[in-house]
């Protein structure tokens, strides 16, 4: 075999090898996340991660982006949610970094993933982003999509029950001017969360696909609330 043929053969096999390596990294990370979140609260468990991953893949297909970074950031974005760790917002990025270092992930890409994890959260809509990239836009949209629609409703009431909150109290109105700290410390009835977060997300999506998907889910929540109040007042 000539040197030219050998060179062509090597070049042709590189994409396949690269793809296999990427798949191995994703599968190892998937297993790590599943094991880490095995006892997580139902709205922030492995299935939440999996749905966000799927949402991110759907959006990424329509964008020019690094799909590996999108996938890994989606998989690791809630590896240690501060809500369940005494409000420690540094733990999640730290756990994610330690994992990526342990598998020998390239430092430059690792930094990008950590930046996404540090900036993806809502936190009352007052969490200023200190990083900007299409990959962050995608993962943030994917995470927000899982907070609205039918899944979002289920997760909201699951978390409300987990925190022993009332379903609804007509005497306690939603607070539309929550600070970041007030948002994190809130003990308001679960219905209030629709107005303080969920119904705001449609207009805060970053990508065209995210906005399109959010619209249908938003309408579903509006329909749910209409039915909820009617039933609460004995009208239907």
pLDDT digits (tens, 9 = 90+) for 13-23: 445 667 788 89
Q: Where are the domains of the chain?
A: 3-232
Q: What percent of the chain has pLDDT over 90?
A: 73
At 177 the pLDDT is 86
What does the pLDDT look like over 75-105, one tens digit per residue? Answer: 999 998 878 786 778 899 999 999 999 999 9
Mean pLDDT, rounded, for 34-39: 94
* Residues 221, 204: Cα–Cα separation, whole Å: 16
Confidence of residue 131 (pLDDT cuts 50, 70, 90): confident
Q: What percent of the chain has pLDDT over 70?
A: 89
* Residues 126, 14: Cα–Cα separation, whole Å: 44
At 7 the pLDDT is 44
Residue 9 has pLDDT above 90, yes or no: no
CATH architecture group of domain 3-232? Orthogonal Bundle (1.10)
């Amino acid at each position: 075999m000539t040197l030219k043929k050998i060179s062509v053969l090597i070049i042709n096999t590189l994409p396949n090898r690269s793809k296999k390596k990427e798949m191995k990294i994703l599968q190892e990370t998937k297993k790590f996340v599943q094991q880490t979140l095995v006892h997580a609260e139902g709205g922030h468990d492995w299935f939440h991660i999996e749905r966000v991953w799927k949402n991110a893949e759907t959006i990424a297909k329509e964008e020019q982006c690094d799909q590996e970074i999108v996938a890994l950031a989606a998989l690791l974005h809630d590896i240690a949610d501060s809500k369940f760790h005494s409000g420690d917002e540094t733990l999640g990025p730290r756990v994610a970094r330690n994992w990526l270092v342990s598998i020998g992930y390239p430092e430059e890409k690792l930094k990008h993933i950590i930046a996404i994890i540090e900036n993806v959260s809502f936190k009352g809509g007052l969490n200023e982003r200190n990083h900007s990239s299409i990959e962050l836009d995608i993962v943030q949209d994917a995470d927000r999509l899982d907070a609205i629609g039918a899944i979002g409703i289920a997760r909201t009431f699951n978390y409300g029950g987990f925190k022993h909150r009332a379903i609804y109290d007509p005497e306690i109105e939603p607070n539309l001017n929550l600070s970041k700290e007030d948002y994190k410390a809130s003990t308001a009835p679960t219905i209030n969360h629709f107005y303080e977060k969920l119904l705001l997300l449609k207009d805060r999506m970053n990508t065209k696909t995210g906005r399109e998907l959010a619209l249908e889910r938003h309408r579903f929540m509006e329909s749910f609330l209409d039915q909820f109040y009617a039933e609460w007042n004995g009208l239907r």
